[in-house]
Amino acid sequence: MTDDRWKRLLPLLRQQEPIAQGEMWSLYYDYVFGTLLKLARRFNSAAGAPVPDPELRDLVDELTCQAFATAFDRIDEYDPARGALPSWIIWKGRAGMNGIVGTAIAHGVRDKGHVHLDDELEWASYVDQLEAGQAWVAGNPEDEVIRRESGARVRAILRDMPADYARALVEVYVRTPPVKGRIGIVARDMGRSSSAMDSLLRRAVRDFIRRLEGGATGPDEAGV
Amino acid sequence: MGAMKKEDDELTEATEVLSAAFDDAPNPPPHFEEALETLSDASTGVAEEELRTRREAFLARLGQGRSLGELLRRRREAMGIDIGEVSRRSSWRPERLEELEASRLDLQTVDAERLGALLVALGLNGLGVLEEPLRQLARAHLAVYESAGPVFGRTRKGVSSFERRRDLQHNVAAIDEKATARQVELYLRRVNDAMAELLG
């Protein structure tokens, strides 16, 4: 629970007064940074902790600066009846978490390398990963059971699909955490435009669903 | 199967829309603070020294590109008080306050203790954002020159005393950087001490 020293500063903050902004920062930086860091660590852990903690602290520091700056700019939107000002600043930071921290986590995960489905060794490594499960894939024990049971079938479908369909699905939905803009991140890594990647994914998803529903077992007739 | 898939897609779409709306909402949902409380119990394990360094970096950014006078004027205006009122609260003469706000006041003529009293009168309990602009001003006004013997010059209208000092020493004596830095830090410490004493 935070104290209420911010109440004295609020009238000055509403006038964009820089000294009061500095006082607000000095009083609540530790609280806001600490809370956002705890949230970011959970996020990072859930993705297998691809971002080292010192780097995560730098990212959260950037996020904290952004949260305070946004809060100062939009202080007119703040309604004291709906909660304490420091909590509102954390809310602003939480909204930016996917952008700053999420992107770094996605890149961190992806920096481990691409999956080349035509390479047997890479394929074996991918299968290991799929069987080990990524934390963001399995949300609860029930999902985990379903995932394990359906894993073999999914792998068979992916192996039978055209290679770039399978790779697009794996890169976006398995190897990249569900953060905003993940299709764009993967597109850049695969040297495609976002719209080309989006189109490839749509075709891949349609093909995957058709195979899953017991349709085609051979290569997609629509071509790649 | 097809109908179920359509339903799933619609559900996913609706969830994404809700999630985006949640992220973009200007205010947190009810019980957000209670949720934060569960997080705030545990320590982050980040060292105090690291936190201090991070805090100060942003403070310096907030004060960047702003003069001490401008910041003090904005503070006074945000408080809704005029120069006369600040003068009454701080025992500063109104014309000196005007000079300070207009960045025309020579810091060499301002006691650090009196500046501390003024800052307290403006509701401050520490230098905060003012620290960097004050340090820069002090570097210019309290510069210590390497000895070059006495240098004489006339006062000129429209030229402040610190500008005159600087111009007289130009090409005559170099600034003693170490002595200046000591002078500046001493001045800032005295301002801080004065504020601490007044605030009890």
pLDDT, tens only, B81-105: 999 999 999 999 999 999 999 999 9
* Cα separations in angstroms, A131 against A138, A154, A168, B32: 11, 11, 19, 36
Kindly report the nearest CA distance between residue B183 and chain A, in angstroms: 25
Residue numbers in A near B101 (CB within 8 A): none
Kindly report the nearest CA distance between residue A34 and chain B, in angstroms: 6
Contact flag B24-A95 (C-beta cutoff 8 Å):
yes
Residue type, A29: Y
* Cα separations in angstroms, A12 against A23, A100, B29, B168: 11, 29, 26, 42
Mutating which of B17, B19, B33, B192 best tests the A interface, going by the most A Cβ atoms within 10 A? Answer: B33
Q: Are A160 and A218 spatial neighbours (Cβ–Cβ below 8 Å)?
A: yes
Contact flag B27-A38 (C-beta cutoff 8 Å):
no
Residue numbers in A near B128 (CB within 8 A): 19, 22-23, 26
Residue type, B125: N
Residue A209 is predicted with a pLDDT of: 80
Q: Which two tokens stand for residue B187?
A: 């001045």
* Three-state DSSP string of B56-102: HHHHHHHHCCCCHHHHHHHHHHHHCCCHHHHHHHHCCCHHHHHHHHC
Kindly report the nearest CA distance between residue B93 and chain A, in angstroms: 23
How much is the average pLDDT of B173-181?
Answer: 85
Least confident of A189-193, B102-106, B112-116, B132-136: A189-193
- Kindly report, residue by residue over B17-27, the tens digit of the pLDDT: 555 556 667 78
Residue A201 is predicted with a pLDDT of: 85
Q: Are A97 and A43 spatial neighbours (Cβ–Cβ below 8 Å)?
A: yes
A66, closest residue in chain B (CA to CA): B58
Q: Which two tokens stand for residue B170?
A: 């130009």
Residue A129 is predicted with a pLDDT of: 52
B75, closest residue in chain A (CA to CA): A17
Residue A220 is predicted with a pLDDT of: 44
Q: Are B55 and A19 spatial neighbours (Cβ–Cβ below 8 Å)?
A: no
Count A/B contacts: CB-CB distance under 8 Å.
Answer: 105
Residue A224 is predicted with a pLDDT of: 35
Contact flag A22-B59 (C-beta cutoff 8 Å):
yes
Tell me the residues of chain B between 90 and 149 that have a Cβ less than 8 Å away from chain A.
Answer: 122, 124-126, 128-130
Kindly report the nearest CA distance between residue B118 and chain A, in angstroms: 14
Residues of A with CB under 8 A from a CB of B: 1, 11-12, 15, 17-23, 25-26, 29-31, 33-35, 37-39, 57, 61, 65, 68, 74, 77-79, 82-84, 87-88, 90-91, 95, 98, 209, 213
Residue A134 is predicted with a pLDDT of: 45
Contact flag B39-A39 (C-beta cutoff 8 Å):
yes
- Kindly report, residue by residue over B156-176, the tens digit of the pLDDT: 666 676 676 666 666 667 878
Residue A155 is predicted with a pLDDT of: 74
Contact flag A26-B128 (C-beta cutoff 8 Å):
yes
Residue B36 is predicted with a pLDDT of: 80
Q: Report pTM.
A: 0.68
Count of beta carbons in the 10 Å neighbourhood of residue A166? 23
Any chain A CB within 8 A of the CB of B39?
A: yes
CB-nearest partner of B62 from A21, A30, A31: A21
Residue B63's closest CA among B127, B12, B15, B111? B127
Q: Going by C-beta distance under 8 Å and a sequence separation of 6 or more, which residues neighbour residue A56? A: A37, A40, A41, A44, A101, A104
Q: Going by C-beta distance under 8 Å and a sequence separation of 6 or more, which residues neighbour residue A210? A: A216
Which range scores top for mean pLDDT: A179-188, B55-64, B144-153?
B55-64
ipTM: 0.79
Q: Tell me the backbone φ, ψ of residue A28, rounded to 5 degrees.
A: -120, 5
Residue A11 is predicted with a pLDDT of: 97
Q: Are B89 and B120 spatial neighbours (Cβ–Cβ below 8 Å)?
A: no
Residue A184 is predicted with a pLDDT of: 82
Q: Are A120 and B69 spatial neighbours (Cβ–Cβ below 8 Å)?
A: no
Helix axis angle, B68-79 to A18-46, nearest 10°: 100
Any chain A CB within 8 A of the CB of B26?
A: yes
Count of beta carbons in the 10 Å neighbourhood of residue A13? 19
Residues of chain A with pLDDT under 50: 114-121, 133-142, 144, 217-224
Count of beta carbons in the 10 Å neighbourhood of residue A103? 18
Residue A178 is predicted with a pLDDT of: 65
* Three-state DSSP string of chain A: CCCCCHHHHHHHHCCCCHHHHHHHHHHHHHHHHHHHHHHHHHHHHHCCCCCCHHHHHHHHHHHHHHHHHHHHHCHHHCCHHHCCHHHHHHHHHHHHHHHHHHHHHHHHHHCCCCCCCCCHHHHHHHHHHHHHCCCCCCCCHHHHHHHHHHHHHHHHHHHHCCHHHHHHHHHHHHCCCCCCCHHHHHHHHCCCCHHHHHHHHHHHHHHHHHHHCCCCCCCCCCCC
Any chain A CB within 8 A of the CB of B31?
A: no
Any chain A CB within 8 A of the CB of B192?
A: no
Contact flag B74-A19 (C-beta cutoff 8 Å):
yes
Residue numbers in A near B126 (CB within 8 A): 23, 26
Residue B51's closest CA among A91, A9, A105, A32? A32
Across chain B, mean pLDDT equals: 83
